[in-house]
Structure 1
Amino acid sequence: MSVYRGVVPQMGFGTWQRNGDAAVDCVQAALGAGYRAIDTAERYGNEAEVGRGIAGSGLPRDEVFVTSKVWWDHLAPGAMRDAIRGSLDRLGLDRLDLYLIHWPSPSGAVAVESYVETLLALQDEGLTRHVGLSNHTVALLGQAVAAAGGRPFAAHQVEVHPFLQNRAVAAASAAAGIALTAYLPLARGAVAQDPVLAEIAAAQGATPAQVALAFLMAEGHAVIPSSSKPERVVENFGALRLALSGDEIARIRGLERAERYTRVDFAPAWD
């Protein structure tokens, strides 16, 4: 497996669709299994529960990398500042490790240059250690990088899995020195039904989900799988131990079919 050099831990736990006490339990299961990165967002409606899970883990604060995101209707300067403070209050933290622009402003209602300026100001104020982007196209990514004036983005989070490898965005992110984080890395469970992944998993003594995660990490990405089942949370973490062969990686690259699961009417025109 290639060596990952990003700021964000290569294996994190995603909390989208994890709510209530189940969110608390899953976060604690993830941290107990060895995950040290937890991903949430104001839009998920679970920051309070995620915060309880982190607090209940007993881990020192500096051992857990916490990411949250600002929703697209809070990109104006005052709204974004209120949003991050709200996220911190709900999480029970005094700072984030990473704060992302969840989605670019629909139809450019808030200019990229404006929300990047605000994001960097929040970092300067110590409300987040690192900043980054999510769901930006190649063109929007370029605008954001230019607006940052040489200051680094720690991550760009986009949908990536064996059936949507998002190579143009991945290449643009790498060229800008931005680590890519793959969300929906298990394609909403579809990886479990794929015969190629199943065959490789059998040869590896692993699960198809572990193979899919190992592939994405071998490609240089961070991953944030999620599950409502604590045993799956633990199982997915085992992907860190897999080393795929060059032939196996090539076979999985061949599974690309532009199968996108994130379909929302405010999304930009994807590359």
Structure 2
Amino acid sequence: MKLIHNEMPVLGMGTFRLEDDIAYNSVKMALELGYRHIDTAQIYGNEAQVGQAIVDSQVERHELFITTKVWNANLNTNSFIKSVRESLEKLKTDYVDLLLIHWPSPESNEPMKEYLEQLIEAKNQGLAKNIGVSNFTIDLLEEALKTIPASELFTNQVEVHPYLTNEKLRAYCDSKNIHVTGYMPFAVGKVLSDDVIIEIAKSKGVTPAEIVIAWSLSLGLSTIPSSTKRSNLLYNLKGENLQLSSEEISKISNLNINDRQANPDFSPKWDI
């Protein structure tokens, strides 16, 4: 499995919207199939299930790459470190491999400098091996770089799929050597029924999901699809070894219509 920064597998298992036993069973199944990169967040409400699945899988901790994200209510000096320690307790681990600011949207409008300094402190305390951000636009990244050097930002995790290629933001991240992790690669299943993707999949005798994963990775991204079905988890894994031609990659990229799936009312002003 290809690694980013020699640490993070490019293909991970996302857990957004997975709850209770479904979260536990899906993560345990993913680990059995060979996934070693698991992505969760405080707001998902499944860190405890993810942690239990990891323990029960009996995969050695050093083989895993675990990511969690700090929620908006905790983006302040009083709550940040405490919330991270609570996440670690639920995840049954002494550290996460990657800790992210989930949204640049603190509930009480705390300045970015305050919560980024707390993010750095979490790393300094050994609670996280690496740190980064999620849902940061170009303007917000420029503001962040006044507090934290680009070399310290392991990734910017943002929505990327064939219907939202996010090229302007990706190009900026490339210019600063900030790796991009794309979430929601299937646009909640929408792109899997796209005629262009289905046609390419048929020509190769593979599933549309494999095509989308291969496309994402061909752009130099990491990606974290979620699934509750063993067959789909396997198809996603297979996508890592699938090669697309430059023409096929372009055809898929040209499907972009800026169709954003994750757009809560506290979202930043997105790059277009």
TM-score scaled by structure 1? 0.96
How does 1:8-23 map onto structure 2 within 5 Å? 8-23=8-23
Number of the residue aligned with 1:269: 269
Deviations 1:208-249 (A, max 9, x none): 111011101000000000012122112211101100001101
2:4, 2:263 → 1: CA distance? 30
Identity %: 39
Matched-pair contact (CA < 8 Å) for 1:12–1:223:
yes
Aligned to 1:230: 230
Secondary structure of residue in 1 paired with 2:145: helix
Using a 3 Å threshold, how does the CA distance of structure 1 residues 86 and 174 change in structure 2: closer, same or farther? Answer: same
The 1:107/1:44 distance shift into structure 2, 3 A limit, reads closer
Alignment of 1:56-71 (within 5 A): 56-71=56-71
User: Taking structure 1 as reference, are residues 74 and 211 closer, same or farther at Cα in structure 2, changes over 3 Å only?
Assistant: same
Tell me the TM-score normalized by structure 2: 0.95
**Contact 1:12–1:38 under 8 Å retained in 2:** yes
**Shift, 1:126, TM fit:** 0.3
Instruction: Show structure 1 runs of 4+ deviating over 4 A.
Output: none
Per-residue CA deviations over 1:179-236 (Å, capped at 9, x if unaligned) read 1111000110112210000011011211111101110100000000001212211221
1:78-227 matched pairs, under 5 angstroms = 78-105=78-105, 109-149=109-149, 151-227=151-227
Residues 122 and 128, structure 1, Cα contact 8 Å, conserved in 2: yes
State which drifts further: 155-164 or 3-12. Answer: 3-12
* Further displaced range: 26-35 or 126-135: 26-35
Q: 1:61 to 1:4 in 2, by over 3 A?
A: closer
Select the structure with the greater relative contact order (CA < 8 A; seq sep ≥ 6): 1
Contact 1:36 1:65 in 2 (8 A): yes
Q: Specify every segment of 5 or more residues in structure 1 that has no aligned partner in the other structure, as ranges.
A: none
Q: 2:220, 2:266 → 1: CA distance? A: 29
Deviations 1:47-103 (A, max 9, x none): 000001111111100101000000111110221111101100111111110000000
**More divergent stretch after superposition (5-14 vs 96-105):** 5-14
Q: Bigger CA drift: 227-236 or 244-253?
A: 227-236
Partners of 2:233 and 2:226 in 1: CA distance: 7
- Secondary structure of 1:49's aligned partner: helix
User: Equivalent residue of 2:24, what SS?
Assistant: helix
Q: Work out the CA distance in 2 between the residues paired with 1:95 and 1:109.
A: 28
Q: What is the aligned-residue RMSD (CA, Å)?
A: 1.5
Read off the aligned partner of 2:135 and give its amino acid letter. N
Q: Quote how far apart the aligned CAs of 1:172 are.
A: 1.6
- Aligned residue-pair number: 269
